[in-house]
Structure 1
Amino acid sequence: MAVEKLYESENYIIVNKPYDMYINSDDEDEKNTVTHHIAKHDSHLSTSSQPLHFVQRLDYATSGVLCIAKNKSAAARAGKLFEGRLTKKYYLAVVRGHVGFELGDITYPVGVDPLTQQSSHRMLAVFNKSDNTCEQSREAHTRLLVLESGYCGSDPVTVVLLKPVTGRRHQLRVHCKAIGHTILGDYTYSDKKDSAPHRMFLHAIRLVLPLHSEPLDIQTSEPFFIDKRFQSQWKSVDIFNKYRTKEAFRVACDVIDRPYVIGVKYQSYSAND
């Protein structure tokens, strides 16, 4: 599967990462990596003759916009924006079930599942702040905007826009599971039950990096409805926010960026004290 370059300068490469692909690997025989497609296999190492710096991460199963710095100073500039929560990241997802609200905030803390701490590092949402079973839990915040409801085959699903305000490991997947709407095809967070779909339907569709000398706003095309396997099974029920064109999607981003929206059914999820 090809890795599409969306943008390149002397400081950054931004690509559209395919689903089910690693970012990098220490195994030089592993060809299913972003670095194998765009650079040398060891480019993620400081000892490489052409080192690259990954200022963000995407899960193996997640597709979409991935920012890579070409030098340390560029990585530091971008890293400060991510750490300071000055970037804007928007993800498109298809979740199971029909979501019963239009706009929501999910603020359950996220930590490491102690049962998988030495293996897969599966994460957990913390529903009660006094619960100490979850390892290294940290505050987490995701905003969710419903775009369209429908059916994938006979299964009710909802297309949603997700905006992670914080950047915890597996945050979007954990928060969707926590509110009862796992991401379609998420084998890990469906407790290994959701194995029928050919991919996990989570895509990093837009990244805004307000760099002082090189402001970036990179967006991919809508990824799911160009997939014939998904499109052939899709039946729409209701469209709440248009999103399939670049212009329409940016309007949806403007909606999710607002602290509140008049006339929209709102839901908040937070941990009990």
Structure 2
Amino acid sequence: MAIERLYEDDDYVIVNKPYDMYINSDDENERNTVACHIASHDSHLSSSSDPLHFVQRLDYSTSGILCIAKSKSSAARAGRLFEKRLTKKYYLAVVRGHVSFDLADIKYDVGKDLTPENSHRMSAAVDTSSLCGEPRTAHTRLLLLETGFYGGDAVSVVLLKPVTGRRHQLRVHTSAVGHPILGDYTYSDRADITPHRMFLHATRLVLPFQTETLDIQTDEPFFSDHRFTSKWEGGKTLYKYRSKESFVKVCDVIDSSYTVGLKYQEFCLK
């Protein structure tokens, strides 16, 4: 499988990761990895003859923009941007149900799911009884773009902007407000098995380096897929977002603190 390279220079290679692919693996027989497709299966190891440094992570099921550094110094430079929350990351998602608000800030802390059978999952602290271990501050902004139906079920297309970067944050936060991501097997309690993929895609990444700002964007990922469009029935469109130009404009909307005229909601532990 060829992986699309969106940008490359002496310091970084930025790719469009396919869904259902690992970033790397310590199993030398595992070939379904980004590392294996663009370099070698052991390229994430310091002992590799062709080392790469992954400065961000994407889940196995999540597709989209992934920034990879070619040296330790380049990794540190990009890593500082992520640590200081200077990067801007924007995701497209299709979620279950028709979202009832236009814009939301989801501020539930995220930690380990303490339910015994869910040891690999994360959990949102939505109330004082939540089984959420070692919770950390988490913040996601959500903008409703379009509603419709997938296979006859109500769904919404949303823009997600993670302000923090906790493990599984977007998946946990959308599920916590009653709108799990379409096709998310893990956070649907293994029930959402009909869709061919999980509909979460890292669509745009802005890296403001001192010398230049890298603004990387992919094409819209869902409506170019016949397996999705064959089951899609459109409803209400609030924003155009399917072209790269219109997507930048909705990113400007979610970046703005201006909420007049929008049905706004904040989710947090009171």
Deviation per CA, 1:109-151: give whole Å up to 9, x if none.
000012359x7520000013x4574211101000000000000
Output the amino acid matched with 1:104: A
Deviation per CA, 1:3-57: give whole Å up to 9, x if none.
1100000000000000000000111111100011100111100111111110000
Distance 1:23 1:116, change over 3 A: farther
Q: Residue 6 of structure 1 contacts residue 14 of structure 1 at CA under 8 Å; is this kept in 2?
A: yes
| Alignment match, 1:89 | 89
Q: Residue 116 of structure 1 contacts residue 122 of structure 1 at CA under 8 Å; is this kept in 2?
A: no
Shift >6 Å, 4+ stretches? none
CA RMSD of aligned residues (A): 1.3
| Alignment match, 1:251 | 249
Deviation per CA, 1:64-111: give whole Å up to 9, x if none.
000000001110010000000000000000000000011110000000
Q: Does 1:122 align with 2:121?
A: yes
**Hey, what's the Cα distance between the residues in 1 that align with 2:24 and 2:36?**
8
Distance 1:219 1:55, change over 3 A: same
Q: Residue 255 of structure 1 contacts residue 261 of structure 1 at CA under 8 Å; is this kept in 2?
A: no
Residue 218 of structure 1: SS of its match in structure 2?
strand
Q: Residue 81 of structure 1 contacts residue 209 of structure 1 at CA under 8 Å; is this kept in 2?
A: yes
Distance 1:155 1:41, change over 3 A: same
| Alignment match, 1:239 | 237
Output the amino acid matched with 1:224: F
**Hey, what's the Cα distance between the residues in 1 that align with 2:131 and 2:176?**
16
Output the amino acid matched with 2:253: V
**Hey, what's the Cα distance between the residues in 2 that align with 1:244 and 1:132?**
37
Q: Residue 94 of structure 2 contacts residue 157 of structure 2 at CA under 8 Å; is this kept in 1?
A: yes
Q: Structure 2, unaligned stretches of length 5 or more?
A: none
Q: Residue 2 of structure 1 contacts residue 18 of structure 1 at CA under 8 Å; is this kept in 2?
A: no
| Alignment match, 1:35 | 35
**Hey, what's the Cα distance between the residues in 2 that align with 1:133 and 1:65?**
32
**Hey, what's the Cα distance between the residues in 2 that align with 1:229 and 1:68?**
30
Q: How big is the shift at 1:2?
A: 2.5
Residue 253 of structure 1: SS of its match in structure 2?
helix
**Hey, what's the Cα distance between the residues in 1 that align with 2:249 and 2:29?**
43
Deviation per CA, 1:169-213: give whole Å up to 9, x if none.
000000000000000000000011000000000000000000112
| Alignment match, 1:79 | 79
Distance 1:157 1:40, change over 3 A: same
- Equivalent positions of 1:1-273 (< 5 A) are 1-115=1-115, 121-128=120-127, 130-131=128-129, 133-272=131-270
Percent identical pairs in the alignment equals: 67
* Paired residue total: 270
**Hey, what's the Cα distance between the residues in 1 that align with 2:214 and 2:18?**
21
**Hey, what's the Cα distance between the residues in 1 that align with 2:236 and 2:164?**
30
Q: Residue 149 of structure 2 contacts residue 232 of structure 2 at CA under 8 Å; is this kept in 1?
A: yes
**Hey, what's the Cα distance between the residues in 1 that align with 2:151 and 2:38?**
37
TM-score, reference length from structure 2: 0.97
Q: How big is the shift at 1:214?
A: 3.7
Residue 189 of structure 1: SS of its match in structure 2?
helix
Distance 1:165 1:15, change over 3 A: same
TM-score, reference length from structure 1: 0.96
Distance 1:56 1:268, change over 3 A: same
Q: Structure 1, unaligned stretches of length 5 or more?
A: none
**Hey, what's the Cα distance between the residues in 2 that align with 1:32 and 1:247?**
33
Output the amino acid matched with 1:16: N
Output the amino acid matched with 1:29: N
